[in-house]
Structure 1
Amino acid sequence: MQTFKAALVAATVFVALVVSIRPGAAEENSRLAMTIAIDGAVGPASASYVKTALAKAAERHAEIVILRLNTPGGLSTSMREIIADVLASPIPVVGYVAPSGAHAASAGTYILYAAHIAAMAPGTNIGAATPVQIGGPIPGLPGAAPDKDGKDSKDGDHPSEPKDAMTAKVTNDAVAFIRSLAELRGRNADWAEKAVRDAATLSANGALQAGVIDLVARDPAELLRQVDGRVVEVAGGKTQRLATKDAVLEAIDPGWISRVLAVITDPNVAFILLMVGIYGLIFEFMTPGTVAPGIVGTICLLLGLYSLNLLPINYAGFALMLVGIALLAIEAFNPTVVIGLGGIVAFVLGALMLFRVEAPGYALSWWVIGITVAVFVTFFLAVLGALRRAARGPALLGAQAMRGLPAEVLDWSETTGHVFTNGERWQARGTETFKSGETVEVANIIDLTLVVRRTPAAAGQGGTA
């Protein structure tokens, strides 16, 4: 009985300890601040990384997510994906331009405006959000489309309104988009429009005074102290009071998928992968059975096509590149001058037209185009040189190739025998009698039988004697 009571008391104490510890553990978990870093151009890899990281932060029940920005801009499609994920996040996202010397230009400005809380480190800047290419509006975002005449309904005529119709449409759409983000977060919408139309920029202190950002913090620790106690509205209209004073910082590293995407979605890498893949397959078709060029070419071609699928490309330019490569392949099998020159011209024009937008970090390098064209020209000149040598040189096949070759007599009887020439033993005949070991000359070949005669030197010696 005493043993039973002791066990009951021990169980009661254990349950009480578990109950008392669990709230503390939950509080510990709720005060987790996870960090995401976008360094460099905004692209498909950045969008994939942010989406995965926000999902992970939601699973870990983090208190906030700090999205650190240091970007010159990037692709508008990827920017809008990131903004859509931030707006739909159940975890408050703090946009933070850091470290000192960093900037959030172009796409970075839009992302910072979309964050629940916007912050900058001293010595950073924001702005220059004039669009290069802006996609469609994000569904569900208030005011994300211009009115019927292509302008935001709250804005009058602007002194720097672009005159070109397409530029005006793109710019007005960008203005409507960033103003809707500013109104959603209660930030300076007028300066946001100025950043789009006039490429205006601000320092950290200037942005704070203009109401573009919410605070300036030297480091993430100071940032956590300043946002502590703030009330933010997350997805679904829910409000949340932040408790970040003692939160633990934990970085979310990009996974291997995001790392691979960051490499292959570089336009220059995608272009090189495409070229290696196509030429690998061409070499495999020219020399069947080598296997290695075919395998490497197939892998590179698939990676190149996948990366092009993620980038804004001009399909007319891509088609011109393929036509140029096809013409050069035809040139290799049927050498002419016109086909080769046409292939080079088509390829160069296609490469110049391939990418529809030259966003920061997503422009095709002239060096890559130049080197590729140089390789094509070298290939073209090599084919022409081989054609010229083949036309001027002696025949390499048939009776013409055998005429004039020296041959050693192996055995001979009257007018027939066998000779050795060109690494092979041949049946031969002639009008003279020869001795074994004597060197003769091939005059002709008839039905796999060589017609031989004395060499001119031997015939001259015989005449002198």
Structure 2
Amino acid sequence: MLSGAASAHGAGVADVPCRCHSAGLPRSTLDVEAARALITFAAHVAAMAPGSTIGAATPVDAQTGQKASDKVIIDAAAFAESVAAQRSRDTGFAIDTVCQGRAVPATEAVRLGAVDLIASDHVALLKSLDGRTVTLADSSTVTLRTADAAVTEYKPGWARRLLGVLADPTLAFLFLSLGTLAAMYELAAPGHGFSGAIGVILLILGFFALGVLPVSVAGLAHHASHHGLAEVVPQVPAVGDLHGVGQRAADSFGCVYGQRLRRSPARGSSLLW
């Protein structure tokens, strides 16, 4: 979302509608529902699709999957109240979504003042937004003119999509298992190099998928393995080609992480929303 907003700003686009879509997700991914609620509260104009719901914003510990501590919940509730008050929304409902996990359908959200309107698609939304006045961070006001606006959909780049696949926790144990086996094979029969390089890469990917390593450390580790292999290659010239393959693979993954770091300055967190 930050990357899309930055691209729109660079292109001189004034209005950036953000669609938070989580329909069809399993109940185990309630962190997506909760993040959607807080993002919606913070929007200048909040709209919901017919039949959708909003709420259930109680933070969950990413390591245990259980509800976070009372201290974390209180802090999250204060944040929800703050952004809701800034947009003149119902602060009581915002607090209840965090503390009690309350969720309501679209019609009830409009009645409570948690969101502004219901729109079936982006065309209806743009027509409803036309003529509305919003207040910016510097207290200035802007009147939206969206009736005839053209819509350009932003799609993430290949690096971000690849990271989305690699960060899937379901792949973590596969990466860790294969990485461990490859590393053990290298230790049992040293000198091949290729299995050791693949093992290191898979282990790093596994830890990243589990959320043990933040993105910056994972990228640094991949770059470190690249330079480590560069030192090993001259010592074992007979298998230099295999070392080179592992070296290039490690450096490629490091570059992917580097692109993510440059484009997304958001800090990491151990909580799911």
Listed as ranges, the matches of 1:44-443 within 5 Å are: 50-71=1-22, 72-74=29-31, 105-133=33-61, 167-307=69-209, 308-310=212-214, 359=272
CA distance in 2, matches of 1:61, 1:212: 30
Q: How far does the alpha carbon of each residue in 1:58-115 deviate from its partner, in whole angstroms, 9 at most, with x for none?
A: 01111311211123443xxxxxxxxxxxxxxxxxxxxxxxxxxxxx722211111111
The AA in structure 1 aligned to 2:60 is V
Q: How far does the alpha carbon of each residue in 1:206-239 deviate from its partner, in whole angstroms, 9 at most, with x for none?
A: 1111100011101000100100111112333332
Please say which structure displays the higher CA radius of gyration: 1
Q: How far does the alpha carbon of each residue in 1:218-266 deviate from its partner, in whole angstroms, 9 at most, with x for none?
A: 1000100100111112333332211111011111011112112211212
For structure 1, the 5+ residue unaligned runs are 1-49, 75-103, 135-165, 312-355, 361-465
1:293 Cα deviation from its structure 2 partner: 1.7
Closer/same/farther in 2, CA of residues 289 and 168 from structure 1, 3 Å limit: closer
3-state DSSP of counterpart to 2:17: strand
CA distance in 2, matches of 1:110, 1:234: 18
3-state DSSP of counterpart to 2:162: helix
Listed as ranges, the matches of 1:27-46 within 5 Å are: none
3-state DSSP of counterpart to 2:57: coil
Equivalent pair of 1:276/1:297 in contact (CA under 8 Å)? yes
The AA in structure 1 aligned to 2:99 is R
3-state DSSP of counterpart to 2:197: helix
How many residues get paired?
207
Q: How far does the alpha carbon of each residue in 1:324-379 deviate from its partner, in whole angstroms, 9 at most, with x for none?
A: xxxxxxxxxxxxxxxxxxxxxxxxxxxxxxxx97848xxxxxxxxxxxxxxxxxxx
CA distance in 2, matches of 1:358, 1:168: 13
Greater relative CO, 1 or 2 (CA 8 Å, sep 6+) = 2
Q: How far does the alpha carbon of each residue in 1:302-337 deviate from its partner, in whole angstroms, 9 at most, with x for none?
A: 3334443238xxxxxxxxxxxxxxxxxxxxxxxxxx
CA distance in 2, matches of 1:188, 1:119: 15
CA distance in 2, matches of 1:285, 1:200: 53
3-state DSSP of counterpart to 1:240: strand
3-state DSSP of counterpart to 1:69: coil
Q: How far does the alpha carbon of each residue in 1:112-133 deviate from its partner, in whole angstroms, 9 at most, with x for none?
A: 1111111001010011112224
Equivalent pair of 1:133/1:170 in contact (CA under 8 Å)? no
CA distance in 1, matches of 2:74, 2:208: 32
> If each structure's strand is expressed as a fraction of its own residues, which one has the higher value?
1
Closer/same/farther in 2, CA of residues 358 and 229 from structure 1, 3 Å limit: closer
Aligned sequence identity (%): 36
The AA in structure 1 aligned to 2:9 is A
Equivalent pair of 2:59/2:271 in contact (CA under 8 Å)? no
Equivalent pair of 2:30/2:56 in contact (CA under 8 Å)? no
> If each structure's helix is expressed as a fraction of its own residues, which one has the higher value?
2
Listed as ranges, the matches of 1:448-459 within 5 Å are: none
CA distance in 2, matches of 1:73, 1:60: 34
3-state DSSP of counterpart to 2:6: helix
Q: Which residue of 2 aligns with 1:434?
A: none
Q: How far does the alpha carbon of each residue in 1:133-158 deviate from its partner, in whole angstroms, 9 at most, with x for none?
A: 49xxxxxxxxxxxxxxxxxxxxxxxx
Give the aligned CA root-mean-square deviation in angstroms: 2.4
